[in-house]
Amino acid sequence: MQTIPASLREALADVESEYARIRQWQDWGDRNRRQQLLKELETLPASGLHPDALSTRVREMQAEWANLNRIEGGKAAPNTGMEARFHALCRDAFKAAKPYFEKRAELRKQGSGQVSEFIGQTKTTLRDENLSPRDALRIRHDAAQALHGVDRVDPRERKSLAADLKQILAALDERIKAANVQIGNDKDALIKKALALSELTDTRQAISHARELQKRWQQAGSGHRNRDQAQWKAFRSAIDSVFSRADSERAELNAKQQQALDAAAALCSELETLISADSEPERSAVHALEAQWRELGCSDSALRKRFQAAQESLRVRAANTRQRERRAGFESWMAHYTLLRQLERNEMDPAGFLITREAQPALNMAAEAMQARADAVLGGNAIATVDVARVLDCVLELESLAGIEPPEEDRQRRMDLQLEKLSARMRGQQAIAPEQSLCELLDRWLALGPVDDAHASLESRFLHALGKALDTLG
């Protein structure tokens, strides 16, 4: 200062005085700021701030306090009490947040363990070459979630764990990409096979193959979404064409079946119409309908029963018609025989006989024998009964045919007659049908001549047996 000129020393003194005054203002401002910080620190634990925000604010205040100390040039002696109080309040603030940070540290440690365990298991799983694409996608989703929540692990392990997770994601992406390529190739092959089904002529076989391809498509899994959707459209189009062809063929078959059912119903109606007709239907017409029915090959049970019922009705009608015709012939014989016996007993004159006979239906059995008997009477040459034993044999044979037991005195003769017939059949003689046998008996009966009054009971037995025989033969 001794070397400084006087003029400068005076100016320097003014500067120093001004500096001292500014320094005083600075000290006063710093003290006020320190007091503000202390006041804020006092209320900070009860402010409701999140522990992280509280911790950040305390560190900001510590930095500001340290900056004030630096500005003051280390002159902390006048602020020693404030300094101690500041640090005590900082400790109190940190103490209020300590339980939160301890719990978070515990959770982060637990999270680190879980992520580390997941990484270890995943690395082991990735060594499996048979890992399915579905499982790979699931693991990738879990790995991505773990990476997204890596801030919940211990910060000291965060970088290492994140690196491991990224490595796992990269490996999974490669695996999934390769799987998608393989799935796409497999589905292309299935599409090719589905398209080839259109060339298969056997529709049932094509349907079977189509269903098998559908199962294999489901087993192929899901690949890249866009490609998957395009492949599915192509595959479904090929499969749908097979089922559409089956639907068309089924509709055509149903139409043919319905047409066959309609034709079968029409045949049933035609056959039923023949039943309801007044006259007996021609056998040729019935045979023609039956031939058409066989050719149709109807499998409908209701229509088959209907047609069979109509056939049975026609059969019964034909049988009844034949029965009526057959019985009409025998009844005509009975009517002519009754007239003949009246003529033979002189109960009717020849003229009345002839007139009455003309009114009777034409005789179609034993007509010659009947006419011979009538001619004999009309010509005055009555035929006498020659052999009563033969008359009895004729009666016994007719009673046997009618199922009538003879009187006790005639049973032995009837047995003898039966033995004779049996012996004849054993010699090779062909058995005669009941209806033919009845016609022959009527012819023999007429040929034997009129039965006299002494043996009228034989004639009564014969006529009674004839009625029973007709009932038996239908």
8: Cα within 13 Å, side-chain hemisphere: 5
Is the CB of residue 366 less than 8 Å from the CB of residue 442?
yes
Whether the predicted pLDDT of 76 surpasses 70:
no
**Position 204 pLDDT exceeds 60:** yes
d(CA 442, CA 330): 9
- Is the distance from CB of 137 to CB of 92 less than 8 angstroms? no
Per-state percent for the chain, helix, strand, coil, to nearest 5: 85, 0, 15
Mean pLDDT of 242-260: 83
Residues 369, 57: Cα–Cα separation, whole Å: 151
Q: Map residue 383 onto helix, strand or coil.
A: coil
With CA atoms as reference, report the closest residue to 65 among 105, 92, 95, 35.
Answer: 35
Are 441 and 462 in contact by the 8 Å Cβ rule? The answer is: no
| Structure confidence at residue 431 as a pLDDT band (50, 70, 90) | low
Per-residue pLDDT of 129-154, as tens digits, reads: 777 777 877 888 888 888 787 777 87
Assign 10 a pLDDT band (cuts: 50, 70, 90).
Answer: low
Torsion sign (Cα): 179, 181, 182, 188:
positive
Mean pLDDT of the chain: 82
C-alpha 465/C-alpha 401 separation (Å) is 8
Predicted pLDDT of residue 54 = 83
Phi first, then psi: give them for residue 429, nearest 5 degrees: -70, 130
Query: Mean of the pLDDT values across residues 274-293?
Result: 80
CA distances from 184 to 217, 218, 223, 234 (A): 11, 13, 6, 13
- Arithmetic mean of pLDDT, 356-373: 87
Q: What percent of the chain has pLDDT over 90?
A: 3
**314-335 per-position pLDDT tens digit:** 787 777 777 777 777 788 888 8
Residue 381 has φ and ψ, to the nearest 5°, of: -120, 70
Predicted TM-score (pTM) of the model is 0.43
The rounded radius of gyration (Å) of the Cα atoms in the chain is 65
Q: Domain boundaries in the chain? A: 6-105, 258-321, 384-474
Give pLDDT tens digits for 284-318: 888 888 888 888 888 788 988 888 888 888 787 77
Task: Report the alpha-carbon distance of residue 167 to residue 427 in Å, rounded.
Answer: 112
Across 216-239, average pLDDT: 84
- d(CA 189, CA 225) in angstroms, rounded, equals 18
How far is it, in rounded angstroms, from Cα 281 to Cα 274? 6
What is the model's pLDDT at position 77? 46
Q: What is the pLDDT of residues 112-135, one digit of tens each?
A: 888 888 888 888 887 877 777 778
